[in-house]
Amino acid sequence: MKKLYKFKDLRGLLLVINVIFALYFIVLPIINMLKYAFFYNGQFIGLYNFKKYMLNDKLYSSIVNSFKVSISSSILAMILAFLFVYGIKRTNIRLKRFFKCVPLILFSIPTLVHGIALICIFGKKGIMNQVFLNNIDIYGKYGIIICNVLYIFPVISSLLFVAFEVTDYRLYEVADMMGTKEIKKFFTITLPSMKFTLVNAFFSAFTLVFTDFGAAKVIGGNYNLLSIDIYEQIIGKQNFSMGAVAGIILMIPSFMFILIEYLIFKRKRFEELHGIKYTIKGNKVRDIFFQIYNLTILFIIIFEIVTIIFMSLVKSWPYNMSFTLDWYKVKSYGTSIGEIYFNTIFVSIITAIIGTIIVFIAAYLVERNKNNFILKKVNYFLYKIPLILPGLTLGLAYILFFNNPNNPLNFIYGTFIIIIIANIIHFFSIPFLNIISNLRNIDDKYECVSEILGIPWYINMIKVIIPLSMTSIIETFLYYFLNSMITVSAIIFLYTSSTRVAAIEIVNKSDIGDLQAACAIALIIIFTNLVLRIFAEKINSKYKNIER
């Protein structure tokens, strides 16, 4: 019994350590940032900085512009993604296997790379302007919208794939018996059965666009957005008070999304569905339309990637079209692309390994531990906070918190350590919630049996729970790695000349107009992400078969 008591205490101790970790790396940096927004020289000034922000025409317009771009991008991407997924799941078109790869490819491309590709295609020296047209202006609002549509397209598609999968065909069979027309079935069965997914997809897309930094930085031109405001206030003007205000405003859509999602979904009962799989009927006109439409989407993505490849392999577009690999050998401030790539792989792998371990242990202690009820609730709440933290806000909070000489961990500022921690926290909530969801599907009798047999909980976790959770563990590792490879916002304030990673270098190259070198770096990121994703999918498929 004493031995068992110690094991329970150890879980409680680990929960306490998790709370301390979350408080120090999530809560305290945010509280410290709030001081810059609500205090001046130690005096509480209330909403004065917010009022000052709103009265500035340029800053106020950035909020309005951010909402316009976010709404427009989300609606357009929802329509395009819905039609694309509908074509795959509800028609008899060919090449479905290739069409399913589109979201996987887009997941591997950061928004700033979409921006660079658009500049290479439609910019003043772009392919389309050189070959066909001479008056396209891609910079500004419409360029940002196109980039963000490509950015959120795979996110929406992945949610819609699941929604189409779980729709019960029996509803359509009943409608057929009643002689219901196809268009009426679409509006009375298809859309209503997916309404929760559509709401979730829209708000997810809106939040991602509202907080995105890459597209606006590369192709935004003079069109001001809230994310660019934070960057300019901190990097350009060293105005931390206004930067903190912008960072707080940037959190509002994420907070509202979580609140709305909770209010909508709390009354919906989620049950395991055992419906009949949808049977696709013949319709030549429909199939021709969706075949052309999906091929068009596929062509756009292929054309974008081919453009990036082409631009990275010619000496000087559009003046010297001879083949070269020089853009892959360019040095920046004495650092080669190879060294920057090594930094990127190092940061991504360490983030993925440590992040996956911390996330799994945190999720296990919250979900599979019958004791320490209050500590579990505190852990769950603290680790959901990153959901409302945009990368720029987190990066700003870290620079204000860890760049303080009085901070005992001040020494990590300017090192890879702070970048890795920022990535772990930034991407923490989604894999945390996914693993909790997976652990709920594992029979809780395993803990009961191990307790009766006197087997320590950690032995049971290592030998039973972890093998049964390998798919979610691999997905968590992949999620951390891919996002660490392409993220900009969370680390834009934290890197130094010696800790630059590939995504940051793309921004730097874009700033000085060195687009061909940026294309070379972007291609390396895309290739690395695709190779790892394919490799991970093969491993995951084996574990899925074992779990079944």
How far, in Å, CA of 438 to CA of 471, rounded? 9
Alpha carbon 188 to its chain's center: 32
Task: Return per-residue pLDDT of the chain as tens, 548 residues.
Answer: 444 444 456 888 999 999 999 999 999 999 999 999 998 877 888 888 888 888 888 888 998 999 999 999 999 999 999 999 999 988 999 999 899 888 888 888 888 889 889 988 888 777 777 776 666 778 889 999 999 999 999 999 988 988 887 776 777 777 778 877 878 888 888 888 888 888 888 988 998 899 888 888 888 888 888 888 888 888 878 888 888 998 898 888 888 877 877 776 665 554 444 456 667 788 899 999 999 999 999 999 999 999 999 989 988 877 888 888 888 887 777 778 889 999 999 999 999 999 999 999 999 999 888 888 889 999 999 998 998 888 899 999 999 999 999 999 999 999 999 999 999 999 999 899 889 988 888 887 887 888 788 888 888 888 888 988 898 899 999 999 999 999 988 899 999 888 999 999 998 888 888 888 889 999 999 999 989 988 888 887 776 665 55
114 φψ region: left (φ > 0), alpha (ψ -120 to 50), beta (else)? alpha
Burial class of 469 by CB neighbour count within 10 A (0 to 12, 13 to 18, 19+): buried
Q: Among 431, 493, 381, 65, which Cα is nearest to 249's?
A: 65
Q: Report whether 211 contacts 254 (CB < 8 A).
A: yes
Q: Where are the alpha helices (DSSP H) in 132-239?
A: 141-166, 169-177, 182-185, 191-193, 195-211, 214-219, 226-231
* CA neighbours closer than 13 Å in the CB half-sphere of residue 385: 21
SS3 430: helix
Strands 314-316 and 43-44, sheet pairing: unpaired
Sign of CA dihedral 223, 224, 225, 231: positive
The pLDDT value recorded for residue 159 is 87
Domains of the chain: 1-40+329-547 (1.10.3720.10), 58-266 (1.10.3720.10)
Q: Report whether 474 contacts 537 (CB < 8 A).
A: no
How far, in Å, CA of 52 to CA of 41, rounded? 17
Query: Which parts of 302-442 are beta strand (E)?
Result: 314-316, 320-323, 331-332, 335-336
Q: 2-22 and 373-382 helices cross at what angle (nearest 10)?
A: 30
The pLDDT value recorded for residue 546 is 58
Strands 43-44 and 39-40, sheet pairing: antiparallel
Q: Report whether 189 contacts 114 (CB < 8 A).
A: no
Q: Among 121, 145, 132, which Cα is nearest to 300's?
A: 121
Q: Among 488, 491, 485, which Cα is nearest to 530's?
A: 485
How far, in Å, CA of 60 to CA of 246, rounded? 10
Q: 48-55 and 28-38 helices cross at what angle (nearest 10)?
A: 70
Q: Report whether 401 contacts 38 (CB < 8 A).
A: no
How far, in Å, CA of 522 to CA of 519, rounded? 5
Question: From the CB of residue 183, how many other CB atoms can be counted at a distance below 10 Å?
Answer: 8
Q: 284-313 and 111-122 helices cross at what angle (nearest 10)?
A: 80
Distances from the Cα of 265 to the Cαs of 260, 262, 381, in angstroms? 8, 5, 18
SS3 315: strand
Burial class of 92 by CB neighbour count within 10 A (0 to 12, 13 to 18, 19+): middle
Distances from the Cα of 45 to the Cαs of 38, 42, 48, 233, 243, in angstroms? 6, 9, 6, 20, 16
How far, in Å, CA of 421 to CA of 215, rounded? 24
- Residues listed for the chain: 548
The pLDDT value recorded for residue 275 is 54
Backbone angles phi, psi at 40, to 5 degrees: -140, 120
Q: What angle (nearest 5°) sits at the alpha carbon of residue 264, between those of residues 152 and 103?
A: 20
Helices (H) and strands (E) in the chain, counts: 28, 6
Q: Among 335, 337, 334, which Cα is nearest to 326's?
A: 337
Side chain identity, residue 213: F
Q: Where are the alpha helices (DSSP H) in 279-336?
A: 284-313
SS3 321: strand
Q: Report whether 466 contacts 446 (CB < 8 A).
A: no
